[in-house]
Amino acid sequence: MIKEKISIEETHINLTTDLKKHGLYYFILKERQELKNYIIKHQDFQLSLEPVRVEEAPLIVKMMARAGRFAEVGPMAAVAGSIAQLSMGYLINEGAKMAIIDNGGDLALKTNKDVIIGVYAGDSSLSGQMGFKLKHEKTPMGVCTSSGTVGHSMSFGRSDSVTVFADEASVADALATSIANEVMGDIDSVAIQNGLSRADDFREYMRGVLIIVGESAGMVGKIPQLVKTNKKVVLGDLFEVY
């Protein structure tokens, strides 16, 4: 098993795989260029905060647009998850038995071993104190997190973390943004309830979601088993393989 870091402009990948020679850097470079070329001709795709319909377009564009429609947000909300998902698919097609793509905290993974990913929720005391145990037979899976208090992602809410589990990372990424936007309210428990109400609208597209605001947490759907950890993880340092 090898671990690598791949950085191309805004894309920052932490890769774990059993594939020694993979060429993932060049695959990501190609996908990014196809997206950039499309945006040059369709600037609304990059700027819109609402779903955008596309017709003739590269796969990454179609994937992002589809995720945005499901989550009722602009397609760029799914860019990190889509790159992670496409990268995972590429590695599997190349023969990988384990492919964990962590794109700035948005994960796509297919593994032959169980994995624990840590929960990073900024200054919340729950951050780094618990993690999710992902059963290998439940993969492939997308695990994506949005936050109103941490990182560079656009969010209109005030969640410390909204972590969505879905079959596809592109969809999980867009849903995390959409749900996090609704985590609003002066009282933590009220903010969480508003987020959970929004999450209820998307049950058909996801497995489950965990929302953390301060010292409070709430969930909708089915999430992986929670386990106690003692690691103060940061974004980009989220998982262990067993």
If pLDDT is split at 50, 70 and 90, which confidence band does 156 have?
Answer: low
Query: Which range among 66-70, 124-128, 157-161, 197-201 shows the weakest confidence by mean pLDDT?
Result: 124-128
Residue 125 has pLDDT above 80, yes or no: no
Torsion 121-221-65-7 (CA) sign:
positive
If pLDDT is split at 50, 70 and 90, which confidence band does 230 have?
Answer: low
Q: What is the mean pLDDT of the chain?
A: 88
pLDDT tens, 99-117?
999 998 899 999 999 988 8
List the domain boundaries for the chain.
2-241
How far out from the chain centre does Cα 105 lie? Answer: 6
CATH fold, domain 2-241, is T-fold (3.10.520)
Residue 214 has pLDDT above 80, yes or no: yes
Q: What is the CA radius of gyration of the chain?
A: 17
Question: Would you put residue 234 in left (φ > 0), alpha (ψ -120 to 50) or beta?
Answer: beta
* Structure confidence at residue 127 (pLDDT): 55
Residue 154 has pLDDT above 70, yes or no: no
* Structure confidence at residue 161 (pLDDT): 87
Residue 123 has pLDDT above 60, yes or no: no
* Structure confidence at residue 15 (pLDDT): 96
* Residue 228 in tokens: 């106690």
pLDDT tens, 80-91?
999 999 999 999
* Structure confidence at residue 241 (pLDDT): 55
* Residue 115 in tokens: 């994995």
With both helix axes pointing from N to C terminus, report the angle between 24-41 and 59-71 in degrees, rounded to the nearest 10: 70
If you average pLDDT over residues 16-22, what whole number do you get?
94
If you average pLDDT over residues 143-165, what whole number do you get?
74
